[in-house]
Amino acid sequence: MSQPTAPLISIKDLHKTYVRGSEHIHAVDGITLDIQEKEYIAFVGPSGSGKTTLLHLLGCLDNPTSGELKVAERTVYSEKAAMNERDLTKLRRELYGYVFQKFYLIPTLTVEENILLPFAFYCKPDAHKNAQHLADLLGISHRLNHLPKELSGGEMQRVAIARALINKPQILLADEPTGNLDSKRSAEISDIFSKLNQEEGLTIILVTHNPAMAKSAGRMVELRDGKLV
Amino acid sequence: MPSLFGIAWKNIRRKRLRSILTIIGIALSTWVLVSLLGFNQGYESSLNKDIDNLGFQVLLTAKGCPYEAATLMLKGGTGLKYMPESIVDTVKANPEVEEVTPMLMHAVFDPNKGEEGGITAFLGIDPVTYPRMKTYLQFQQGKWFNQPQALEAVFGYEAAELEQREVGDSYLLPEADVEIKVVGVLKRSGTQDDGTIFLPIRTLQKVYKVNGQVTSVGIKVNKSTDIAKYEEELYKLPDVQVVSMAQVKQTISNLVATARVMVMSIALIAILIAMVGVMNTVLMSVLERWQEIGIMKSMGAMTSHIFKLIWFETILLTFVGGVVGSVMSWILATATDKLIRSVLPYSPTSALVQIDIILALKAIGIIMFIGIISGIYPAWKAARIRPIEAIRSTEGEL
Amino acid sequence: MKRIGILILLLVIYTTGIYAATGCDLNEPDRDVKRLFPGSTGFKTSYVSIQQKGGKALQTKIEQRLGDKFTGMYETMDVPYTVYEIYKDKQGIGYIHGVNQKGQYGGIQVFLALDPKGVIKTLYYQKMTNQSAKAFRSDTFTNQFKGLSMKDFAAYSPVTGKQDGALAKIKNPAPKAVQDFRATLRGIKKNLILMQEFGYTK
Ligand SMILES: Nc1ncnc2c1ncn2[C@@H]1O[C@H](COP(=O)(O)OP(=O)(O)O)[C@@H](O)[C@H]1O
Ligand SMILES: [Mg+2]
């Protein structure tokens, strides 16, 4: 690892400004940051400090107001160019998996179908194999034929994680994944994340309020008022 | 592996009551549509059959003479005009004529009918030619008269019912006080014949002293004859009016056209209601799943996937509704027939609403097309959802 | 041309087929009700049939009470009977009900105006075909039925034609038309029985 490789994600002087009436909210206010491949980075900071906004920008879910965003050496956003929605979708399919505080499972689909949901939109070979592997890894193999409403909160989040990983992404984005879980379940999810990072080499970008979980990340970055501290 | 179609189907089943209500709405619209199409199809053929049942293509009457019992009743039995019986031979002389039958309508005032008396109408017919023309008349009891001068009568079913007459009973001709025998009662035909009392024309002429006179002449021409041209010919006869059944048909068709417009508007309204219903249901389901759809997009769904997903839902709803509606209209065909009859100024005897599989498929096609059209807006709405908006917001908004 | 159009319209109205047994309605209910119940302010029309009220069993019962079988093609279970319930303001003041009765030369429509208890107020032949119809329809004849009710007809047999009690006094107004005289009595009796069996009178 002596050879310095290009960062997986690189942002320069990134801004996201919301306009609410006459008020301008600088949710992300000039952040410059590199994230390396296989890194496990955790963003912390008080509520309203801009963590979610930054995460969405890093995940190509939202467009910055200004600055530059490069992912896997592709320019997602710069002063000159912005990727169109179609390419963004392709990029997301290829590189990203997302986990949110709310699990957003489709209530009418079984656990297995929820995990395989991305393949309703595009195909990847060996999907079923990966599904089985993920289910085992996340300890939900016995739940595959259940509906989300029959699961506990911890199990639902595991399903959401499995769904996020089904397309074998390089980057897992997680916004307060344990926000709705008790401490025991949170610890379990935290362990899973560490394991995914160490054993599978997954790049993880995490936003959390959970200090224990933040500590397990390789790098912890604090935000305040849209700026790095 | 989940498919878009499967997801759509499962979503329809999620809000069961709402989906069922929507499907019922669509089914009702389909029912209206199928019935309407069936009506368009059935009416024409039914009307033609009725006209053919009249047995003659042209009716000749004396100028100004009401030629139907109904008119006669309304006029209080007056206004009958006669033609000499010799006209039958004149008409027959034309080689294009296949058969001619003379008729004599006679109305009598019966003081013992109702509080102030009423009119009874009799139709004198030729026992030889008339039955040959009206082959569709069937007997409930008995048969036609034996002799041209027999003191006998054949009753249409309703006339017989009113007079409680059966074969073998006597009947008293009002005014003349002549007793006659009932020799036949006709089955219901659904035509004016049901209310008619038939007598041999000679008998009627003699009893009521209108010898040598007829009120109308039914004419059947050869199949190859140009009826319009032949009618022109007939107008050359002095003091006659020509009522052609083609003309009757035309008039009826015109009358019905108005009713048809009305029925069409009802159908159109039904379709609009179905459309709004579908749109509403699907739009609601889009709004409720705002976040779900956003997540799908973050999971790699293209705009087109979401569009398809929502469209499938619409198509499924309309397809099920269309099939249910078609089956319903088939089951309810008789009831629909009655309903339409009650609206129309004139209804032919045989089935008005003719529904077949092709028609049902056509209707399902139309309904699905309408569904697809109504699904465009919600689908477009859903497809435009940006993942970030959906994730950030707790509720979607229009 | 226009005239022909109108004539056709009439033909057309007339041709519309109705496919049920026909009952016995007043020709002009509004006028007839006013005449038979001069004090009335309104009426309600309902249609009942033996079929609907009890079917075969009820027909048998009615035949037993009548003392005669239902005859012919037209006296059947599914004939709809029209009952006019007469009101003075909100108060029911009686009924009008008619039956078709087979007469010698044609159908006789025997209408009765009844008070709520089932006592005959008026006998009205809406229709009768007979040389002596005038005698039958005269007040002198019809007035004799005023005040009679079911109990006076209970013993009357349409088969023998033997008249007892209150009926004994009523003479045939037209000796030639015995058949129609007896048809009248049968019609009235059937009328009264139906009104009881349909639950209108006691
Ligand atoms: N869609 C939006 N419109 C307007 N303001 C927003 C929007 N999203 C976030 N904000 C504002 O941006 C700031 C940062 O929010 P967020 O990124 O959600 O912070 P955190 O995740 O750290 O709590 C907050 O002040 C918030 O109110
Ligand atoms: Mg947040």
Compare CB distances from B251 to C5, C101, C129 and report the shortest one's residue: C5
d(CA C35, CA C28): 11
Of C83, C109, C82, nearest in space to B115 by CA: C109
Which one, of A26, A40, A76, A29, lies nearest residue A202 by Cα? Answer: A40
Question: Domain range for residue B68?
Answer: 64-238
User: How many structural domains is chain B composed of?
Assistant: 2
**What CATH class is the domain A9-228?**
alpha beta
One domain for residues B265 and B359? yes
- Let me know if residue B73 belongs to a domain: yes
CB C121 within 8 A of CB C163: no
B303/C contact by beta carbon, under 8 A? no
CB B299 to CB A98 under 8 A?
Answer: yes
**B143 domain-assigned:** yes
Domain annotation covers residue B244 = no
The answer to whether A52 and A229 are in contact (CB under 8 A) is no
Q: Please identify, by atom number, the ligand 1 atom nearest to the C-alpha of residue A47.
A: 23
Asked which of B182, B207, B238 is the last residue of a domain, the reply is B238
Judge whether B22 lies within some domain.
yes
Partners of A104 on chain B (C-beta within 8 Å) are 291-292, 295, 391
Q: Residue B347's closest chain C neighbor by CA?
A: C16
Q: Between helices B4-14 and B16-53, what is the axis angle to 10°?
A: 90
**Partners of residue A18 on adjacent β-strands:** A25
Name all chains with 3 or more CB-CB pairs below 8 Å to chain C.
B
Nearest chain A residue (CA) to B308:
A121
The pLDDT, as a whole number, for residue B11 is 86
B109 inside domain? yes
Which residues contact ligand 1 via a Cβ below 6 A? A 18, 20, 25, 27, 45, 47-53; B 392
Q: What is the pTM of this model?
A: 0.58
How many interface pairs between B and C have CB atoms less than 8 angstroms apart?
A: 126
CA of A77 to the centre of ligand 2 (A): 22
C10 band by pLDDT with thresholds 50, 70 and 90: very low
Residues A173-197: tens digit of each pLDDT: 999 999 888 999 899 999 999 999 9
Q: Is the pLDDT of residue C15 over 70?
A: no
C6 pLDDT more than 50: no
B208 shares its domain with B100: yes
Question: Are B200 and B313 within one domain?
Answer: no
Residues 6+ apart with CB under 8 A from A185: A152, A153, A154, A157, A178
Q: Which atom of ligand 1 is nearest to the CA of A175?
A: 21
Low pLDDT (below 50) residues in chain B: 394-398
Which amino acid is located at B362 in the chain? K
Tell me, yes or no, if C30 comes closer than 8 A to chain B by beta carbon: no
CA pair distance B3, B11, nearest whole angstrom = 12
- Is residue B59 domain-resident? no
Q: Quote the pLDDT of residue B78.
A: 62
Nearest Cα of chain B lies from the Cα of A104 at a distance, in angstroms, of: 6
Collapsing DSSP states into helix, strand and coil, what is residue B366? helix
Model confidence at A3, pLDDT cuts 50, 70, 90, reads low
Structural domain includes residue B233: yes
What DSSP string describes B199-223? Answer: EEHHHHHHHTT-TTEESEEEEEE-T
* Pairwise CA distance, residues B234 & B228, whole Å: 10
With beta carbons less than 8 A apart as the criterion, state whether B390 and B384 touch: no
**In sequence order, which ranges of C48-200 are alpha helices (DSSP H)?**
50-53, 55-66, 133-137, 139-142, 150-153, 165-168, 178-197
Say which residue, A139 or B41, is predicted with more confidence.
Answer: A139
The percent helix, strand, coil of chain B (3-state, each to 5) is 55, 15, 30
What pLDDT is attached to residue B177?
87
How does the average pLDDT of chain A come out, rounded? Answer: 91
Q: Domain map of chain A by residue range?
A: 9-228
* Structural domain contains residue B57: no
Residue B314's Cβ-side half-sphere holds a number of Cα atoms within 13 Å equal to: 32
Q: Say yes or no: B79 and B125 in one domain.
A: yes
Of A61, A93, A119, the CB nearest to B1: A119
Contact present, B192 and C11 (Cβ < 8 Å): yes
Which residue type does C59 have? Q
Residues B80, B225: one domain? yes
Chain B contact present for A125, CB below 8 A: no
* Ligand of minimum distance to the alpha carbon of A176: 2
Q: How confident is the model at residue C109 (pLDDT cuts 50, 70, 90)?
A: very high
Instruction: Let me know: does C99 contact C81? Beta carbons within 8 Å.
Output: yes
- The verdict on a CB contact (< 8 Å) between A108 and B297 is no
Quote the pLDDT of residue A227.
94
Say if residue C179 is exposed, middle or buried (CB neighbours under 10 Å; 0-12, 13-18, 19+).
Answer: middle
